[in-house]
Every structure is written in C-alpha cells, then in structure tokens.
C-alpha cells in the first residue's frame, strides 16, 4: 500500500455534490484515511470564473503512481470534465500531490505536484489534515508563510 495525498477542486454546478461524488468514485481503489474540510477559494490564474470548492484527502492505494493518474483522469472523464482554457472552469479536477515520499518526473506525471507549494487552496487544507508533513524538505507552515492573501474560507 502506498500513502497518497490528492487535491480535489470544482467550480461548476453543485460543487459539494461534485466533491462527494468524486470521493465515492475514488473510494473504489483508494482507502480514504482523512478528508479536509471543504474550502471556498478564489480562482487562481484565470480570474473571471466562479469561485472553487477545494479539499485534500490522505489515502492508501495499491495502484502504482501511473495507474493512480489514469484512475483519476478516468473519474474526471466519467464526471464529464470538459477541457476549456488552461486554469479554466471545471466540474472536477483531481491532482496527485504526493505518493509515498517518491519524486517522480515522467512526461505525464510530476510528483510532488509542481505547483502545490504556490497554492493556498492546496496547502491550507493539507495543513488541516497533515500538519507535520514535510514537502520537498519544508514544513507546510514554512511554505504557507510566503502566501500573499489568496482568499480562502473554510466551510462550516
Ligand atoms: N501530480 C500530478 N497530478 C495530476 N496530473 C499531473 C500531475 N503531474 C503531471 N500531470 C499531468 O498534467 C496534465 C494536465 O492536468 P490537468 O488538466 O488536471 O491540469 P490543470 O488542472 O489545468 O492544471 P494544474 O495541473 O496546474 O492543476 C495531466 O493530464 C497529467 O498528465
Ligand atoms: N481556487 C482555485 N483556483 C484554481 C484551481 C482550484 O482548484 N482552485 N485549479 C486550477 C487548475 O488546476 C487553477 N485555479
């Protein structure tokens, strides 16, 4: 079994149901150990789009990292994610943040996720469920010190 961290995001339709359905589909091959709260987050990158609902999970899986990516992309297709513009609106986006303590760099997969450290919508929920985690040699708290006011609210 490998320990994994995934980030989920959605900004179209019924966002809470989208996350819940994605978790249901993930649970076919991933044992979900911890779930962060849902966070309402302002769009990063392309601004003129609805706010996102984001969360992070910790899990365990027997899938290899490549098969996990394939499985996650299949869930996105099943939920009819339509590719629009880069950083644009989406029903569901599933990113692999960490896979054990491996560093992977293939054409299709980079782990740790190359943009995770710049994103409050990833690091804040990650801190909620794994405050002691070290990412590329840094504590999450240290990484979060460089954030500059990206708006993010934990849902009650
Ligand atoms: N750690 C990773 N998790 C998910 N996808 C990855 C990862 N590393 C590389 N990729 C590749 O990135 C490609 C594009 O992913 P996706 O469409 O989710 O990007 P995006 O959501 O628009 O942007 P971002 O990757 O910045 O969140 C995927 O098809 C996948 O091959
Ligand atoms: N707040 C927020 N912004 C984003 C998100 C996201 O999940 N949440 N995903 C992106 C591309 O993956 C680009 N911008």
pTM of the predicted model as reported, rounded to 2 decimal places: 0.95
* Unique residue bearing structure tokens 């801190």: 127
Q: What's the 151 CA to ligand 1 centre distance in angstroms?
A: 23
CA distances from 113 to 17, 47, 49, 86, 156 (A): 25, 22, 23, 16, 28
- pLDDT, position 83: 58
What is the position in ligand 1's atom list of the atom closest to the CA of 88?
Answer: 22
Instruction: Output the six-digit token pair for 28.
Output: 């076919």
Q: Tell me which of 44, 84, 91, 115 to substitute to probe ligand 2's pocket, judged by most ligand atoms within 8 Å of the beta carbon.
A: 44
Which of the ligands is closest to the CA of residue 151? 2
- Does residue 93 carry a catalytic annotation? yes
The whole-angstrom distance between residue 155's C-alpha and the CA centroid of its chain comes to 17
DSSP line for 23-90:
HHHHTTTEEEEEEPPPEEEPPSSS-SSPPEEEEEEEEEESS-HHHHHHHHHHHHHHTTPPP-STT---
How close are the terminal C-alpha atoms of the chain, in Å?
Answer: 33
The per-residue pLDDT string of the chain (156 residues; one tens digit each, 9 = 90 and over) reads: 999 999 999 999 899 999 999 999 999 999 999 999 999 999 998 888 899 999 999 999 999 999 999 999 999 988 876 556 666 667 899 999 999 999 999 999 999 999 999 999 999 999 999 999 999 999 999 999 888 788 999 997
- pLDDT, position 88: 63
Distance from C-alpha of 4 to C-alpha of 33, rounded to nearest angstrom: 10
The whole-angstrom distance between residue 21's C-alpha and the CA centroid of its chain comes to 15
- Does residue 154 carry a catalytic annotation? no
Domains of the chain: 2-154 (3.30.70.560)
Is residue 90 in contact with ligand 1, taking CB distance under 6 Å? Answer: no
ipTM above 0.90, yes or no: yes
Residue nearest to atom 31 of ligand 1 (CA): 108
Contact 20, 61 (CB under 8 A): no
Q: What's the 150 CA to ligand 2 centre distance in angstroms?
A: 11
- Does residue 90 carry a catalytic annotation? yes
- pLDDT, position 146: 85
- pLDDT, position 86: 64
Residue nearest to atom 2 of ligand 1 (CA): 96
- Does residue 81 carry a catalytic annotation? yes
Beta bridge partners of 111: 104
């Amino acid at each position: 079994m490998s320990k994994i961290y995934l980030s989920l995001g959605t900004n179209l339709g019924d966002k809470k149901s989208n996350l819940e359905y994605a978790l249901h589909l993930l649970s076919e091959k991933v044992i979900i150990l911890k779930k962060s709260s849902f966070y309402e987050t302002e769009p990063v990158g392309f601004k003129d789009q609805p706010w996102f609902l984001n969360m992070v999970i910790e899990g365990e899986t027997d899938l290899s990292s490549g098969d996990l990516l394939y499985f996650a992309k299949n869930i996105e297709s099943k939920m009819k994610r339509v590719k629009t513009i880069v950083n644009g609106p989406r029903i569901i986006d599933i990113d692999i943040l960490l896979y054990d303590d491996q560093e992977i760099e293939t054409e299709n997969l980079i782990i740790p996720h190359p943009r995770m450290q710049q994103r409050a919508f990833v690091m804040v929920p990650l801190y909620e469920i794994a405050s002691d985690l070290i990412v590329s040699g840094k504590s999450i708290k240290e990484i979060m010190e460089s954030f500059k006011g990206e708006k993010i609210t934990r849902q009650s």
